[in-house]
Structure 1
Amino acid sequence: MQTRTFHKQYSCSLDASRMVAADIVPFWQQLNIDVCIAGQMELCLVELVNNVFEHAYGNTEGAAFDITSQLSIEVSDYGSPMPPDILKNLPTADFIEPLTDDPSTWLQSKRGLKIILQLTDSMEYISDKSKNTFKLLKKTS
């Protein structure tokens, strides 16, 4: 059985998550991944790519990040590492719904990471020197 892998490097921007999704969804379709699972993983991927742009690179366009996928997703950036306590406290952190009339609810809330934690079977974060990698796993059956 041949293992097929998606791997591509992108440049950070506000539109990067849409570009990544447009590239990777057809790859997942070729693997016959269930549409519901692919949709959940796409949402997780978009959240991670947006976090790379906002947090790892401070909303700076042009910095590189990599996407690798088989039946898992890896998102690697070369920016600022995530503080270690974020994932440690994530399971007990409140989920803050963004409210249209309350801008304070639009701020960083770990909302994206909470969504990813709920939709994946496994989430791992590794920060090693100048590279930070999130690894997500979603079982397909």
Structure 2
Amino acid sequence: MDVKTGKFHKAYLSSLEASREVAEDILPYWNSLKLDETIVSQMELCLVEVVNNVYEHSYLNTEGKKFEATSFLSANNELIIEISDFGQSMPDGLLDDLLSTDFVEPVADDPETWLVSRRGLKIVKELSDKLEYFTQQNRNTLRMQRSAK
């Protein structure tokens, strides 16, 4: 955590293990904010999903590509989490489409349901109060916002 700004910010390298590494680093920061345990566990789930998506979709399962994690508590008590990468950007309208798609529950004996895309992002959208995605100068950022009240 940056003591001057009160923010968590750290750069990482993409890998299968990166999501766990980010979670291990950010949890002490969130706990220092005295957040409710439910909020922490739900946002940890979202964080892991988004970091895994960076590895899989932005960097096409390529290890060693830089991404960044930032988190802070806003002036109006909103937990902000930003994951930024420099890979392939998300298709336009994908987040908006999540509202109109049904959640496909995986079925043990139906492998087709195991591979349904967007399930993780739909969960992230449901657990966040606000979800935004933007690209600026080759930097893609997914911003999650959750009330800490």
Aligned residues: 140
Which of 73, 76, 87 matches 2:81? 73
Which of 71, 85, 103 matches 1:95? 103
Q: Does 1:135 align with 2:137?
A: no
Consecutive aligned runs of 4 or more in structure 1 exceeding 3 Å deviation = none
Whether the 8 Å CA contact 1:95–1:109 is kept in 2: the answer is no
Query: Separation in 2 of the partners of 1:59 and 1:105?
Result: 21
Which residue does 1:112 correspond to in 2? 120
Whether the 8 Å CA contact 2:8–2:70 is kept in 1: the answer is yes
SS state of the match for residue 89, structure 1? helix
Which residue does 2:129 correspond to in 1? 121
Which residue does 2:41 correspond to in 1? 39
**Percent identity between the aligned chains?**
52
Pairwise CA distance, 1:3? 4.7
SS state of the match for residue 50, structure 2? helix
Whether the 8 Å CA contact 1:96–1:109 is kept in 2: the answer is no
Which residue does 2:76 correspond to in 1? none
Which residue does 2:25 correspond to in 1? 23
Pairwise CA distance, 1:106? 2.1
Whether the 8 Å CA contact 1:124–1:135 is kept in 2: the answer is yes
Whether the 8 Å CA contact 2:23–2:44 is kept in 1: the answer is yes
Letter in 2 for 1:102: D
TM-score normalised to structure 1 length: 0.94
SS state of the match for residue 67, structure 1? strand
Pairwise CA distance, 1:104? 1.8
- Unmatched 5+ stretches in structure 1: none
TM-superposition CA deviations, 1:21-48 (whole Å, max 9, x none) = 0000111001101110011110110110
Pairwise CA distance, 1:108? 4.3
Pairwise CA distance, 1:102? 2.2
Query: Separation in 1 of the partners of 2:148 and 2:112?
Result: 37
Letter in 2 for 1:96: V
TM-superposition CA deviations, 1:104-138 (whole Å, max 9, x none) = 22224211111011111110000123110001111
